[in-house]
Structure 1
Amino acid sequence: MRLTVLGSSAGTPTRTNPASGYLVEHDGAVLWLDAGTGTFMELAARVDPGTLDAVVISHLHVDHCSDVFGLYGYLAYGPSGRVPVPVYAPADAGRRFAEFAGATGEHPFMNVFEFREVGAGDTAVVSPFTLTFGASKHAVPNNTVRIDAGDRTLVYSGDTGPNRDVMDVADGADLFLCEATLIDERTAQTYPFHLTAFEAGKIAAWGGAGRLVLTHVSHLVDPDESVAQASERFDGPVTYAAPGMEFEI
């Protein structure tokens, strides 16, 4: 299984880093994991968007889902593709996306996507991937995502603050892709819906993850400082998810 970082900037894209989005590939199958602002262009530079097997959206903040509309435009008005594309997302996602697109009746949007609402405890098979969704702590409903393919496991936190459910999410992960928006514990105390890098390291250590990749790092934070902070708690490999990086899992 291969993970490619399309973008990893928290909250907003920057000149050099799109918002959150990742490409997951195994045995010819392709998943788009989060579709943050700027990531569709990076996706299209690597694969034909018409060959996507599924899209997985952790939550409905724009820095994780806005480029779904880029894929919509490509499939509805561009080259033919594999439609409808399954989109696994939290409850009410389909209605909210369609409303934004002004999609009613025979609108092309209705033929491009098949929204499948998922939450904690749900599973889905997008062969050869098995997806397992978990609970988290965020300002809006957010699913953690466990992706199993062959004998390899990738776990993605989405956006979350620290809580008991999240402590177990990285259990046995070969690679744990975890948000580390913050570096200052004082900020984390006033806004408990994101993790510090130290907390990400703690979760990785608790779950026995093989490797920790820090993502969703604020553009106001030095990624090297985040890696150093996470390494205080997790003694395995720690890497910042720089755009364009690839990881063989």
Structure 2
Amino acid sequence: MTMKLRILGETGPYPAPGGATTGYLLSTEEGNVLIDCGSGVVSELLKHVEVKDIDAVIVTHHHADHTVDIPVLRYAVMIHRLHKRREEPLTIYANKEPAKDFAELPLDGHVTAEPLDAQTEVTLCGMKFTFANTVHAIPCLAVSAEYQGKRFVFSGDSGMSEELEQFAEGADFFLCEASWLHADKGPDFIGHLTSKEVGEIGKRRHVKTLCLTHIYPDYDRSLLKAEAEEAFGREVLVAYQGDVHEI
């Protein structure tokens, strides 16, 4: 079986009406890993998997559009364990920085946490996960998952970064934030990428499939797609809630 990527939420920093911010379900025949848990993600997640079948959560960084549904997910795990519908606690693998934010994760006997940094390697559901630092307003990690010879990379939130570029080299599927059109990039534009920059990274780093995400809700996505494709030199995908990609 291949890895399966399900888009649970793809906007930022706030959801479109009826949508959700960052959340992705990465699945193999061995289980399910949730990457980030933003606004509206739990509602969408539970359309596709039962609480008992969520094996782990990865948190790239501690901004609300990536974490705000974690307390809600904790409630779901707690209720299902109390009603004997889930046996094990849920482990959240979260960026260890800022330390204050890591310490404030809503933990109890039903949810536990493990710290992540760029040196972490962990195998979950048969997938080997590694991480890299990005350039953002607070510490953030990009995520790589390798499974049966295929490699998925998610940028997290980031501005232009040599470390992120090297991390994405040769990825079979690169899910990359594209928060803005390049013409809208201003002096205060820090810690995010434009669709043009994403296309350039994909081309330089020989990415096989490139998909834009973390999209400002009011944008015309066809413009982001066109700008990225001009730089990439071929088709670029745009994430939409409910999409499923086989990797």
- 1:103 maps to which residue? none
1:66 aligns with 2:78: no
Q: Name 1:19's counterpart in structure 2.
A: 21
Runs (4 or more) in structure 1 with deviation over 4 Å come to none
Deviations 1:208-247 (A, max 9, x none): 1110110001013211111111111113431110110111
Aligned to 1:125: 123
Match of 2:174 in 1: 176
1:54-203 equivalence runs, <5 A: 54-78=56-80, 79=83, 80-91=85-96, 92=99, 93-98=101-106, 109-203=107-201
Contact 1:19 1:36 in 2 (8 A): yes
Partner Cα separation in structure 2 for residue 245 and residue 63 of structure 1:
19
Distance 2:184 2:17 in 1: 28
3-state DSSP of counterpart to 1:228: helix
Q: What residue in structure 2 maps to residue 102 of structure 1?
A: none
Using the TM superposition, name which of 48-57 and 72-81 deviates more: 72-81
Percent of pairs with identical residues? 28
Which of 42, 45, 62 is 2:44 aligned to? 42
Find the aligned partners of 2:183 and 2:119 in 1 and give their Cα distance. 30
Distance in 2 (alpha carbons) for counterparts of 1:19 and 1:182? 15
* Equivalent pair of 1:134/1:145 in contact (CA under 8 Å): yes
TM-score normalised per structure 2: 0.92
State how far apart, in whole Å, the 1-side matches of 2:165 and 2:228 are: 15
* In structure 1, distance between residues paired with 2:160 and 2:227: 16
SS in 1 for 2:109: helix
Structure-1 separation of matches of 2:229 and 2:88: 43
The C-alpha deviation readout for 1:35-93, integer Å capped at 9, x for no partner, is 01001011001001221111011110011011111211111123432432221111134
- Partner amino acid for 1:50? K
TM-score w.r.t. the length of structure 1 is 0.91
Shift of 1:206: 1.8
Once the two structures are overlaid, the 10-residue window that deviates more, 229-238 or 157-166, is 229-238
Q: Supply the AA of the counterpart residue of 1:172.
A: G
- Kept in 1: contact 2:91–2:113 (CA 8 A): yes
Q: Give per-residue Cα distances to partners, 1:192-217, cap 9 Å, x unaligned.
A: 21000011111111221110110001
Deviations 1:178-198 (A, max 9, x none): 000011345354222100001
Q: Is the Cα contact below 8 Å between 2:182 and 2:195 reproduced in 1? A: no
Cα drift, residue 170 of structure 1: 1.2
Deviation at 1:155, TM superposition (A): 0.2
The CA RMSD measured in Å over matched residues stands at: 1.5
Distance 2:51 2:212 in 1: 26
In structure 2, the CA distance between the partners of 1:125 and 1:15, relative to structure 1 (3 Å rule), is: same
Q: Which stretches in structure 2 are left out of the alignment for 5+ residues?
A: none
In structure 1, stretches of 5+ residues that fail to align are: 99-108
- Residue 242 of structure 2: which of 223, 241, 244 is its match? 244
Distance 1:54 1:82, change over 3 A: farther
SS at match of 1:42: helix
